[in-house]
Structure 1
Amino acid sequence: MFAVIKTGGKQYRVEPGMLLKVEKLPADVGETVEIEASLIKDDQGNIKTEGKVEAEVVEHGKHKKVLVFHFKRKKNYKKLNGHRQPYTLIKIKDIKA
């Protein structure tokens, strides 16, 4: 059984028991969140277009730093910035059709 969920502007294929890093969610660690499923396929091969996925928030964190370097030749212009995108680690508990 698997489902396709959409969160943070991205789509993910999930199965029960799976750990997944998604864009930061406004939920505390240990809370259960429900995410709309756009597609669900059960063990018999039946496909449904509506449902919910129940997930538990495991942790919040930040990804590795991405360096952004701006440079203009002949002008002695150099600028270095870094960015760390926040994420939420969730564990898929159940898929409800």
Structure 2
Amino acid sequence: MYAVIKTGGKQYRVEPGMRLRIEKIDAKEGSTVELEPLMVRKDDGSVEFYKGKVVAEVVSHGLGKKVTVFKYKPKENYKRWKGHRQPFTEILIKDIK
């Protein structure tokens, strides 16, 4: 059984027991969150759309790898560096109902 969920503007295919890094959500570590699936495919092969719930536990919050942004204009002595680290939430999929 698996489901397709949408969170943070992205879609993920999830199964029970799977760990996943998603865009940061507002939930404390150790708490459970319910996500609404776009699609659920059951073990017997049937498919349901926009029905059910995906229960997940928030494992941790963190920051991703650093991305360096570099601006440069030739012959003008213009150089700028900027770094960015995208925040994420790691979740553990507990159950698909």
Fold shared per TM-score above 0.5: yes
Pairwise CA RMSD? 0.4
Other-structure match for 2:6 = 6
Other-structure match for 1:78 = 79
Identity of aligned residues (%): 61
Q: Extract unaligned runs of 5+ from structure 1.
A: none
1:50-89 pair list within 5 angstroms: 50-89=51-90
Name the CA distance, whole Å, in 1 between partners of 2:19 and 2:61.
13
TM (norm. structure 1) is 0.98
Which runs of 4 or more aligned residues in structure 1 lie more than 4 Å from their structure 2 counterparts after TM superposition? none
**Contact 1:67/1:82 (8 A) holds in 2:** yes
Name the CA distance, whole Å, in 2 between partners of 1:83 and 1:23.
14
Q: What is the aligned residue count? A: 96
State the shift of 1:73 in Å: 0.5
Other-structure match for 2:95 = 94
State the shift of 1:90 in Å: 0.1
Letter in 1 for 2:52: G
State the shift of 1:71 in Å: 0.3
